[in-house]
Amino acid sequence: MEVHHPTSLPDALRAVAAGATPLAGGTDLMVEINFGHALPDHVVGLRRVEELNSWEDSRIGAGVTWRRIDEKGPTALAEAARTVGSPQIRNAGTIGGNVATASPAGDGLPFLAAVDASIELVSPTSTRHLLWSDFFVGVKQTAKAPDELIVAIQLPERLPSRQAFGKVGSRNAMVIATVGCVVTRDDDGKTTVALGSVAPTPIRAFRAEEMISAETSPSESALFEFQRLVSEDVRPITDHRSTEEYRRHAAGVLARRLLERCLR
C-alpha cells in the first residue's frame, strides 16, 4: 500500500492526479473499507494540508471539520453542523468530505443549495468553481473529475439576514436525516428553501420561494400555501428510513416552521 501525507496543496494534487484516493476525516471512506466495499491501495491523507484547513471569511477550506463550523459558522450551517453524528464524528468529518460523498442526506448540503454556494475544484493544471447545482448530479455522484480535488467551498460574500436549519429524524443525536431543510429570508423578502433526503441531490423548491418572496408579511394562508408547494416540489422515495408520503409531508411542515422562525 502506498500512502502520502502531504503538507502542501501541490503535493496533495499530484498524488490525487496520480490516482490516490483522498482521505479527509475518514468518516465515510473508512466505513466503506471496514465493510469490504472499498480497498484502496494508494491513499493520500489530507488532514496535514494547511490550505485545506484554512477558512477565510466566505471561503471555507474543504478540510474544515464540523466541530469548527459548529463553533463559528454562519447561523444555519452551524445549526446543521451541530446535528452531524456525535462529537467524535464532528471532530473528524469535514465539509469537503460531505460534499465529496454527495449523499442525499448530507447535513451540510441544504445550506450550500440555499445560499448558492460554489465548489472549488483544483487539479495540477486547472481551477474551476462549480455552482452546487452543477456539482451534484445524482445519488453520491458529482461532476468532479478524477484528477480534481475539492479544495474549498465558496459562499456568497453576503449571506441572507435570516437563516434556519431543521432536520427530521428518529432521535436527536447520531441520526441520518429523514428530511433536512434550510430556509433563508433576506431583508427585501427574498426567500430560499433548500431540502435534503427528498431527491437524488439537494434541491430548491423554486415555486414556493417565488410565491413567498412576493409576500411582505405572509398571512397564515400564505404560509400553508408555501408548505403545500414545498410538499409538491420534492421528489422523495420510500426506503428503510421512511416512506415517500411521510417525507413529502414532513418536508412541507419543516419548511413552513423554519420560515416562521425566519419571520420572527
List of residues contacting another protein (CB under 8 A): 1-3, 5, 23, 25-27, 29-31, 33-35, 39-41, 43, 45, 47, 67, 85-89, 91-92, 172-174
Q: Which is nearer to another protein, 58 or 103 (CB)?
A: 103
3-state per-residue secondary structure call for the chain: CEEECCCCHHHHHHHHHCCCEEECCCCCHHHHHHCCCCCCCEEEECCCCHHHHCEECCEEECCCEHHHHHHHCCHHHHHHHHCCCCHHHHHHCEHHHHHHHCCCCCCCHHHHHHCCCEEEEECCCCEEEEEHHHHEEECCEECCCCCCEEEEEECCCCCCCEEEEEEECCCCCCCCCCEEEEEEECCCCCEEEEEECCCCCCEECHHHHHHHHCCCCCCHHHHHHHHHHHHHHCCCCCCCCCCHHHHHHHHHHHHHHHHHHHHC
Query: Measured from the CB of residue 83, what is the shortest distance to another protein in angstroms?
Result: 11
Q: Which is nearer to another protein, 139 or 173 (CB)?
A: 173
For residue 145, the tally of other CB atoms under 10 A from its CB is 12
Q: Which is nearer to another protein, 14 or 67 (CB)?
A: 67
Query: Measured from the CB of residue 29, what is the shortest distance to another protein in angstroms?
Result: 8
Query: Measured from the CB of residue 150, what is the shortest distance to another protein in angstroms?
Result: 18
Query: Measured from the CB of residue 263, what is the shortest distance to another protein in angstroms?
Result: 28
Q: What count of Cα atoms within 13 Å lies in the side-chain half-sphere of residue 207?
A: 11
Query: Which candidate, 40, 33, 31, 53, places its Cα nearest to that of 4?
Result: 40
Q: Which is nearer to another protein, 67 or 128 (CB)?
A: 67
Q: Which is nearer to another protein, 91 or 103 (CB)?
A: 91
CA distance 225 to 211: 8
Q: Which is nearer to another protein, 42 or 235 (CB)?
A: 42
Query: Measured from the CB of residue 21, what is the shortest distance to another protein in angstroms?
Result: 8
Query: Measured from the CB of residue 25, what is the shortest distance to another protein in angstroms?
Result: 8
Q: Which is nearer to another protein, 1 or 146 (CB)?
A: 1
Query: Measured from the CB of residue 92, what is the shortest distance to another protein in angstroms?
Result: 5
